[in-house]
A and B are shown apart, each in its own frame.
Chain A
Amino acid sequence: MAADKVDPIHQFHIIKLIPIKIGSYDVSFTNSALFMVATVIVAAAFLYLTTSSRSLVPGRLQSVSEMAYEFVGNMLRDAAGTQGMRFFPLVFSLFMFVLVANLLGLIPYFFTITSHIIVTFGLAILVIGTVIVYGFMKHGLGFLKLFVPHGVPIYLMPLVVAIEVISFVSRPVSLSVRLFANMLAGHITLKVFSGFVVSLSALGAVGIAGSVLPLAMAVALTALELLVAFLQAYVFAVLTCMYLNDALHPSH
């Protein structure tokens, strides 16, 4: 089993905790589901408990909650205007969910749900689905103007429309792959460097001295991953805001 510990892929394995089957689908409660529940509970409890005193002058933790709230609120207002504020709960939920999931994943032995493409893809489809449904609900077929920019000569139109359609379709892919790949790559790198520390220090005194370098690297990478965890949640939320802006104002 010692080989498993160094295996950088080991941390992404899905383990069934409570096997459940509905029809032919396996919907077992897995470690991934457990950490989704943990993410939701941690994020919700943090937001709920830090604001329970409703102080006029906020304490530190209440300030954190308020900062997150106002941060996402301003982001959405800047990108999509005041009309976009109807999506504030969605964007704030996405931001908090992704952020807390990323941060929880940094704790050793914790599973990172955002390192699974299906999870990030599910969130991206939720965003694009909201954009499409709301876009057609609000503008009807006028939503298709999104694919027809103003001021393009007629003979270029088929090409431009094709490009616009492709770029729209690739949005959920890029949105989900960006988050997934960042978390996956970060955790693999961390694991590889930590693995070096373990294998080198098994080689005796010289190995222990040599393992200082990968250890320092692992520490630095942890700091970097902390930044990436926040940054990717931010990027996900910003792009969500921009796509929602398209749903609100389809004509360029």
Chain B
Amino acid sequence: MFVTSAFAEETAPAATEGDTHSSTGVPAEAHGTFPPFDPATFPSQLLWLAITFGLFYLFLKRVAMPRLGGIIDVRNDRISKDLDQASKLKGEADAAVAAYEQELAEAKKNANSIGQQASDAAKAEAETTRKKIEAELDAKLGEAEARISSIKANAMKEVGSIAEDTASSIVEALVGGKASKTEVAAAVKSVAR
């Protein structure tokens, strides 16, 4: 390979240079060239890089990455499951609230109708009682008026006889003679008209 031939050319002066330096204290592994550009180390570094990186790649691919991916997947699954459950529970809670409110509304409606019925019944009862009492009062009033009118009539009748008595006694006192009863009655009647 041309690399190795070039390398051979390069190392020949480099080796002598290294020899001269070794007497001045530069370590023997110094090839005289800048170490990262020293082709003598290339095969070894490439081989060991291939071995170590290859093993690292296989280890990550077979062991580390499936494990990491598994951990993250499990967590994501768990989170989405928890979120699903939370939204399901929220839905249930919402449904419960809606049912409660509906029942509340029904109960209010029932309460209203019951109250209405009760007040209607009470009004009707009060009305009937009132009418009954009014009727009784009317009856009593009528009775009382009848009695008054009968008493009045009696009294008026008696007023006539009293007037006749009074008139006859006045006539007796004034005239001195007895006036006949019928005459007096006729006179009182004509005056009373």
Contacts and interface: CB of A to CB of B under 8 A. Distances in A.
A18 to B, nearest CB: 10
Interface of A: 1, 3-4, 9, 12-16, 20, 24-30, 32-33, 36-37, 39-40, 43-44, 47-48, 51, 54-56, 58, 62, 65-66, 69-70, 88-90, 92-93, 96-97, 113, 115-119, 122-123, 126, 180, 184
Interface string B16-47: 00000000011101100011111011111111
Which of B38, B41, B61, B74 has the most chain A CB within a 10 Å cutoff?
A: B41
Contacts of A27: 43-44, 47-48
A69 to B, nearest CB: 4
Interface in B36-87: 36-38, 40-50, 52-53, 55-57, 59-61, 63-65, 67-72, 74-75, 78
Sort A-B residue pairs by CB-CB distance and give the 6 closest, nearest first: A33-B48, A89-B61, A36-B52, A12-B35, A47-B64, A25-B43
A116 B43 contact: no
A58 to B, nearest CB: 8
Interface of B: 4, 25-27, 29-30, 34-38, 40-50, 52-53, 55-57, 59-61, 63-65, 67-72, 74-75, 78
7 contacts: A4-B25, A9-B34, A14-B35, A47-B60, A56-B74, A69-B68, A123-B53
Contacts of A39: 52
Contacts of B27: 4, 13
A31 B27 CA distance: 15
Contact of B69 (A69, A90, A93, A180): A69
A43 B56 contact: yes
A119 B38 CA distance: 12
